[in-house]
Structure 1
Amino acid sequence: MDLDPGDMPLCYSPDLKTVYVMNYSRPEQEVGVILGDYTRPVDLYRLDNGQRTRVASGIPFITLARWSPDGRYLGIAGGRQLHVLNSDDNSLDPVNKLVNLPSAVFFGWSPDSKTVYVEHDYVVNGAVFNVENHEGLPAYRIKDNFPFFKAMLSDNLFIGTVTHEPSTSETVLMDGEGQVQKSVGAGKFRDVAGNSILQVGKGDFGLAFYADVNTPEGVLLTDRFIYQCQFLPQGGIIYTTPGETGAELNYDLTVVTQKEQKTVKVSGPHFNVWPDGRFVDVCGYRTERLSLPELAVVQQQDCPLYEGEKDKIIACARGAITTYIEYCHRSNNPYDQALKQELSRYCVDTREPVEQVALTDIYEELKSRPALSHLRSVAHHLNGQIKSVEIHGDRAALVAGFSSRHAVIRSDDTDPWSLFRSTAGGWAFETAYEMIKLDGNWYVTGLSTFPRSRERSEIAELTDGFINSCRGDGPAPVRDEQSRQFYEQIRGKEIRAGQIQFWNMSEPHRSSSAEQSKFALVYLYAGEARYELVFSREQNPGLAN
């Protein structure tokens, strides 16, 4: 192969005359990742007869490439997007767009090469797409619950998936007509080599290896969240999982062979194995090429996701949110000192220009949360994306969106296969951090405080007016009797204002937008006591201690 610098060989054409390679797109845009799953854009080229032809630009890093049985179409998936390339004319079908599919994480071909069977992020049999008429149907429009083809096992025997409900799947053996012949086991099919297959569990937690589908007795390789997995061309298994949590963005790449199992730290969650099995390229914040199966570094060059202070700010936010989530999923109550010490690596209480107590707020919230005895502490995963970042000298404001996924398994359940039968749950939320730089390090000092917003200025002005009322002889600027009583308690005392937070109240939670918040919560200090002054968009302020 005559490769350009940066080329990553993806696959050969069925006649072995053409090789397809990808190379990172230039210039690249920021990926916006804080932690969890992410990808980088690539361009796809075909190399044949000494010619180099670009057939796709700016598509996500390709993690799965499979030819149709007739060798005419190449399906390429990555970054939750699926494209189908017609090798006759190099035309490219964006399947997600054509089928109105929000995500495509895996796919298989029908025996006649006309249909692509697509797996959605949360629906194993998620959609079908016809490559001839360029049309398809998402799962909710498919009336019949028929098996989906996922891979060929032999001449007239195929691997397929059936669903009993949208998120519960079973891998089966099928004939060419789509008739189920035998069940292999619960889980989501990922790869086949000979008679061996790989499967992942509910919510992508757990990786199972079946040496022979005809006598299916699986071996659980890991119970961690799986980003990507496959068989190696020269034998063995390769997969990626989340690395250590904290300020650094880390991932683990593992290779399992008959001789040994080896794990190394890498900079990204996804990879591409060369067709000849000599190397693996990692899609991350470094350009990484490792030898196989040794996992020795062949090429490595830093390609930072962010520059300068922005990188440090995002690292702090990453550490703060991962620490918070780890303690949210704990199965027992933490030691006070250990919890506060861990939080203080990323959060701090400050006094200028007003008192802000992010460290205390998070500490008190986590201390009051009950331990989740029904969850395994390792069975959760967090993705995070930046919504906005503003930097003003030694102050910054960051808003980020997160999605958390977990396997609902009791911590006293020691059966490793529970991951393949459990319920996968999760939630999505947004967080707004006010941050400060102290002694060269960034810390979170405010939660949903929005320091430079118009709403913050308005609430500060209203708070000053309330404090001035307390110092005078005017009537209480509140409506309810309880607030009037508190007003009388602090009236005439020396009062100072503390942090201002913005909240929403469908279920009380800190708002990710000052503009869309429904309430503002202000800490007032009078002597040794702390009070909470609440401003509503619909009502006058109330006071509570």
Structure 2
Amino acid sequence: MKRIVFSLCFIVILMGCSQQEIKEGQVYVVQDENYDEEQTGDILNIEGRIPFQKYVNQNIVDLQDSNRILLTIAPSGEEIYLMERMETTELSPVIKGDVREKVRIIREDMVTKDQVIVAKDIPFVSKVRWNTEGNIVSFGGGDRLTIYDAKDGSIIMEGKLAQDPITGFFWAPTDENKIYTEQPNLANGSIYYLASQRKVEAYETREETYYKGKLNSDYYYGTKWDLANGNIKTVILDKQGKTIKVIIPGIFRDSYEKSLVVVGEEGFGLSYVEDINNPEDAMDLTKEYVYDVKFIADGKIAYTTKAEDIDDNLFYLHIVSNNGSELKRAKVYGANIALLPDGNSGYISGPVWQKVDFLENKLFEVDLEHDVELDESKEIYSTIRGAMMTLYDFQMKGEEDRNRIEKYFKNTRSPEQWAYFDVTNMLQENDNRSSRRDYAMRIDLKSYVMDYADGSASVVIDVNIKNSYGRDITTDYALELSKSEERWYVTGFSTFPHAVEREEIEKILQETIEKIRIGKLFPGKLEDKEITLGQVQFWLSRMPRLAPNIESANAVKVFLQVNQEGREEVYKLVLEKVEQNLWQPTKLTQEDLSSL
């Protein structure tokens, strides 16, 4: 049975001398009424679509610059939508990971040039999709979804969407008011019905397959969630939700003609299928965590991963040919890609936006003089990045690097802070050699107090770790840093040297040490010994883990320096809070110094 395949170039003529003509390359399939898709077996005689718009008048490209990016052209051709950076002088709250700078979206009338601010104070936008009627547009980036009704000029479900972390989305093909979403660690997330302002959770719907992308006017890509084994597969669907073909395990990300890319279920790994009729020939482009990926000009692929640098918060931009070979890899300042509607160029997020020419595979260099971080803060951020990666490279991968420990950690006196001692003991007492799990790290700044006169800083950070086994762990750390010989070091974990509560604990500790010395506590252990108070560290006993703030601490771990016949030995003393201002000694030992 023959099928007739032809290409139709959809042209919208904009009215007026300053208006533009827009073309979208699109292939449609015409079939006779007796055609049965199932009779063709695994072969789909479909050419797919080119998802880019071509500008007849190139002046439209000149509307954007390094701080103003063209995001999309309305299907009517009457308006354009621009993304503009919102300038700030505040210290960046992101120490490692996607910076998520704040932007505003501007709607501009192509005839009158009138402008309206559609949204503001949202993260960098890297994905734009119009609904089936072309009257509602969705903008996504930085785990935030914004939906704008172009007809009414209003944001839809703004309150609910601002609270929900959303990483992906696609409009239902037969309902202009229904949108499918993806959430962190949940490939098929909530479904939103805009007309009724209703949100349906994944567990509340019977839909196992969510629409994720468009193959052509009749068929779509989706992710099928197998509830029996928890696996996610990318499939081809019709408009009624029927699965036509299973393509490959993983989560759909983008498509171009008959090609598509998918990521692993946890975002680790990127696979490229050059032809949907030959999914068994899929190529693995990377096994690392992929921050953003999309097809670009000529069916090439652009994606971002973390850079190898420890000290800097940088990423790699990879440009791959349509046969799967890497054409370019370059370090960039951000993790997300805003692709211009024609697919020929785009911008990378970050402290400043870097322009990329995808036709020439050329990255334009930028000057970071607009970086909002102060020089001292940049050095502190660099130390924190290096220190945390040193810890987690050991915990997640089993990698030990003594040189890095010396580079980022140091013990200090007055007050006693033993971060170097803590980390080296952790490596000695914990065997992580069997761990070989890749991970993606994000570090956010929660609080920052700098003492310029003393050359010290107190910093509280939030560390989020996502690994390829599906675990997503968030931990708060209270760090003390000190500058020595023009370098910053982490000197203490949860030591809180300037807190009033610490002074009260030190008085209790002096009394406790005296009781140990005279044999009233832990008799026979350290009687008549010379004991000096070392590092005082605050913990949460139930976890157990380091306390992120001193107010929540209900345990104290103290290192005691003991003179044993001319040799200095270290003991661990643990006190636990029984009630307000009442601390009970529970442990005195030389074992397991790295734990509570």
Both structures adopt the same fold (TM-score exceeding 0.5): yes
How far apart, in 1, do the equivalents of 2:365 and 2:478 lie? 40
CA distance in 2 between partners of 1:321 and 1:297 (Å): 31
1:140 maps to 2:199:
no
**Per-residue CA distance 1:444-470 (angstroms, 9 max, x = gap):** 111111111122111112223334556
Give 1:368 shift.
2.5
Aligned equivalent of 2:273: 210
State how far apart, in whole Å, the 2-side matches of 1:4 and 1:51 are.
16
2:351 alignment partner, one of 275, 285, 301: 285
1:171 aligned counterpart, secondary structure = strand
The one-letter code sitting in structure 1 at the alignment partner of 2:83 is M
Instruction: Give the partner amino acid of 2:181.
Output: V
The answer to whether structure 1 residue 346 and structure 2 residue 346 are counterparts is no
| 1:329 Cα offset (Å) | 2.3
Whether the 8 Å contact between 1:122 and 1:167 is mirrored in structure 2 is: no
From 288, 294, 309, the equivalent of 1:224 is 288
- 161, 178, 190: which one aligns with 1:115: 178
Identify the residue that residue 455 of structure 1 maps to in structure 2: 501
Distance 1:67 1:524, change over 3 A: same
Q: Tell me how far apart the structure 2 counterparts of residues 296 and 4 of structure 1 sit (CA, whole Å).
A: 17
1:505 equivalenced with 2:571 (yes/no): no
Q: Is the 8 A contact 2:145 2:162 kept in 1?
A: no
Gaps of 5+ in 2: 1-59, 591-596
Partner SS, residue 220 of structure 1: strand
Greater mean alpha carbon deviation, residues 251-260 or residues 321-330: 251-260
Quote the Cα distance in structure 1 between the aligned partners of 2:194 and 2:277: 32
Letter in structure 1 aligned against 2:472: G
* Corresponding pairs, count: 510
Separation in 2, partners of 1:146, 1:101: 24
User: SS in structure 2 opposite 1:275?
Assistant: coil
Structure showing greater radius of gyration is 2
User: What residue is the counterpart of 1:439 in the other structure?
Assistant: 485
The percentage of aligned residue pairs carrying the same residue is 26
Specify the SS of the correspondent of 2:275. Answer: coil
Structure 2 distance, partners of 1:426, 1:127, is 19
> 1:303 — aligned with what?
370
> Is 1:522 aligned to 2:558, yes or no?
yes
| Offset, 1:245 | 4.0
Offset of residue 340 of structure 1: 2.1
Asked if the contact 1:348/1:443 (under 8 Å) is kept, the reply is yes
Name the CA shift for 1:269/1:86 in 2 (closer, same or farther; >3 Å).
same
Does the Cα contact within 8 Å between 2:166 and 2:184 map onto a contact in 1?
yes
**Which one of 132, 142, 151 corresponds to residue 213 of structure 2?**
151
CA shift digits 1:476-504 (9 cap, x unpaired) = 2x3xxxx1222xx342x332211100112
Shift of 1:101: 5.9
Contact 2:541 2:576 in 1 (8 A): no
1:415 aligned residue = none
Does residue 383 in structure 1 map to residue 421 in structure 2? no
Aligned with 2:240 (options 177, 200, 206): 177
Q: Distance in 1 between matches of 2:140 and 2:507?
A: 53
CA distance in 2, matches of 1:245, 1:90: 44
Tell me, yes or no, if structure 1 residue 358 matches structure 2 residue 419. Answer: yes
- Map 1:13-412; keep pairs closer than 5 Å: 13-27=74-88, 29-47=90-108, 48-49=110-111, 50-94=113-157, 97-98=159-160, 102-112=164-174, 113-142=176-205, 144-165=206-227, 168-216=231-279, 217-258=281-322, 260-292=326-358, 293-297=360-364, 299-331=366-398, 334=400, 339-350=401-412, 352-373=413-434, 375-376=436-437, 379-393=438-452, 394-408=455-469
TM-superposed deviation, 1:386: 1.3
* Structure 1 residues 372 and 141: alpha-carbon distance in aligned structure 2, compared to 1, 3 A threshold: farther
Answer yes or no: is the 8 Å Cα contact 1:524–1:531 preserved in 2. Answer: yes
Q: Is the 8 A contact 2:352 2:366 kept in 1?
A: no
Q: Indicate conservation of the 8 Å contact 1:175/1:181, yes or no.
A: yes
Does 1:541 pair with 2:581? no
**Structure 1 residue 61 displacement after superposition:** 0.8
The one-letter code sitting in structure 1 at the alignment partner of 2:512 is F
Deviations 1:216-266 (A, max 9, x none): 231111111000000003431101101114121110011112575201001
- Flag the 1:254–1:100 CA change in 2: closer, same or farther, 3 A: closer
- How far apart are residue 272 of structure 1 and its match? 0.8
Report the Cα offset of residue 174 of structure 1: 0.9
TM-score, normalising length from structure 1?
0.88
Taking a change above 3 Å as real, the CA distance of residues 10 and 278 of structure 1, as seen in their structure-2 partners, is same
Q: Tell me the secondary structure at the aligned position of residue 537 of structure 1.
A: strand
- Give the 3 Å change call, closer, same or farther, for CA 467–227 of structure 1 in structure 2: same
Query: What is the TM-score normalised by the length of structure 2?
Result: 0.81
Distance in 1 (alpha carbons) for counterparts of 2:355 and 2:486 = 34
Contact kept, 8 Å, 2:223 with 2:232, in 1: the verdict is: yes
Contact 1:503–1:511 (8 Å) recurs in 2 = yes
CA distance in 2, matches of 1:100, 1:295: 36
Instruction: Answer yes or no: is the 8 Å Cα contact 1:98–1:134 preserved in 2.
Output: no
Q: Cα distance, 1:100 vs. partner? A: 8.3
Query: Partners in 2 of 1:73 and 1:313 — Cα distance?
Result: 44
How big is each residue's C-alpha offset from its partner over 1:149-181, in whole Å with a ceiling of 9 and x where there is no partner?
A: 122212211111111249631111111111111
8 Å contact from structure 1 (residues 66, 75) kept in 2: yes
Kindly report the root-mean-square deviation, in angstroms, between the aligned alpha carbons of the 2 structures.
2.2
Per the alignment, in what secondary structure is the counterpart of residue 203 of structure 1? Answer: coil
Pair 1:484 & 2:523 matched: yes
User: What is aligned with 2:9?
Assistant: none
Q: 1:296 to 1:98 in 2, by over 3 A?
A: closer
- Is the contact between residue 91 and residue 373 of structure 2 (CA under 8 Å) also seen in structure 1? yes
How many Å separate the matches in 1 of 2:589 and 2:408? 30
- Give the 3-state SS of the residue equivalent to 1:371 in structure 2: coil
Residue of structure 2 equivalent to 1:418: none
Indicate if the aligned counterparts of 2:90 and 2:372 stay in contact, CA closer than 8 A.
no
